[in-house]
Amino acid sequence: NAGVTQTPKFRILKIGQSMTLQCTQDMNHNYMYWYRQDPGMGLKLIYYSVGAGITDKGEVPNGYNVSRSTTEDFPLRLELAAPSQTSVYFCASSPEAAMPQHFGDGTRLSIL
Amino acid sequence: GEDVEQSLFLSVREGDSSVINCTYTDSSSTYLYWYKQEPGAGLQLLTYIFSNMDMKQDQRLTVLLNKKDKHLSLRIADTQTGDSAIYFCAEIPPRGGGNKLTFGTGTQLKVEL
């Protein structure tokens, strides 16, 4: 019963460093999503993918990149970490558009 | 409005009913969702309602939908301490492709003994 798995769970970065947040799902879902959650706020969509090889920007894509080479994996990359990217990042997947999304447990990222 | 709106806090006594309210943005949204987030955890889908329904009941949970007013509510009967969490309503509005969830800011429910 793995569902959506995110790694790492926690990370501290220095300003200007880069890193990749990993997300994998074992439900053969076509749609995958990356959100960020800032304190006291709802989730904001960063990027999403409707299938392998296809990605598109969400509401807050600046400073991030994604790729979707397989159905299972949807990594999120931060190239030049900035303090404004301190947040909790959630990956989600769904079988099709408008279907309920299944969430991972999140990656808590601090940039100092 | 542009944003999905929720009250930030709700406090209830154990055993009472909780009602969490939400105003969403697009009367054409097909599905409306309630998610629960416990401290330090991801979002867990609680329930959802299709837009052609007025009400959906699932054990202690009752969802009411008023499409005219774009109002969604979640009622939790016999609220327990384990219900303490943040509750998010969400919609998938047709604008923007109809495949992206828009979340409210969340309502933090505190259950007191």
Q: Which residues of chain A have a CB within 8 Å of the CB of B44?
A: 103
Residue tagged 């329904």 (tokens): B53
Is a pLDDT exceeding 90 seen at residue B2?
no
**Cβ of B39 under 8 Å from any chain A Cβ?**
no
**pLDDT of B101:** 85
pLDDT in tens, B16-48: 999 999 999 888 888 899 999 998 888 999 999
Is a pLDDT exceeding 90 seen at residue A97?
no
Residues of chain A with pLDDT > 70, as a percent, come to: 99
Q: How confident is the model at residue A107 (pLDDT cuts 50, 70, 90)?
A: very high
The Cα of B105 is separated from the nearest Cα of chain A by a number of Å equal to 4
Q: Among all residues of chain B, which has the CA nearest to that of A5?
A: B42
Flag the least confident range among B34-38, B78-82, B100-104: B100-104
Name the residue facing B100 among A58, A100, A105 (closest C-beta): A58
pLDDT in tens, A10-54: 999 999 999 999 999 999 999 999 999 998 778 899 999 999 999
Give me the amino acid identity at A21. L
The larger pLDDT score, comparing residue B96 to residue B16, is at B16
Name the residue facing B88 among A4, A42, A97 (closest C-beta): A42
Is a pLDDT exceeding 90 seen at residue A74?
yes
